[in-house]
Amino acid sequence: QVQLVESGGGSVQPGGSLRLSCTASGTIFSSDSMAWYRQGPGKERALVATWNYGGASNVEDFVKGRFTISGDNAKKTVYLEMNNLRPEDTAVYYCHLPRWDRQFWGQGTQVTVSS
């Protein structure tokens, strides 16, 4: 069993920055990957970035250059550094860990970008 707990959301003005954290508890394997998704108002949940315990990472094109994903194996934590935030980045951000037999999701953390 895995539990994911996100933190770091909040309200910022356009151009601001936030760093989200997701810490996993339970058994984590070196083959595991973790990801950040987001769901904006009236929108479907969308993949933002992925990271695995081998160190590989990817950030989707629509946030590339502004968002960075990283992780700390020892802390079982993945981070999403978000810079130059825009109003369209407003969403609930979810942490995700997929396994072959089930999906694990965090509870989500709200990010609001508004002047």
Give 28 or 92, the one with higher predicted confidence.
Answer: 92
Cα gap 43→6, rounded to integer Å: 21
What was the pLDDT predicted at 31? 87
Tens of pLDDT along 6-36? Answer: 999 999 999 999 999 999 999 988 889 999 9
81 pLDDT band (50/70/90 cuts)?
Answer: very high
Tens of pLDDT along 28-74? Answer: 888 899 999 999 999 999 999 999 988 899 999 999 999 999 999 88
Contacts of residue 30, defined as CB under 8 A and 6 or more positions apart, other chains included, come to 53, 54
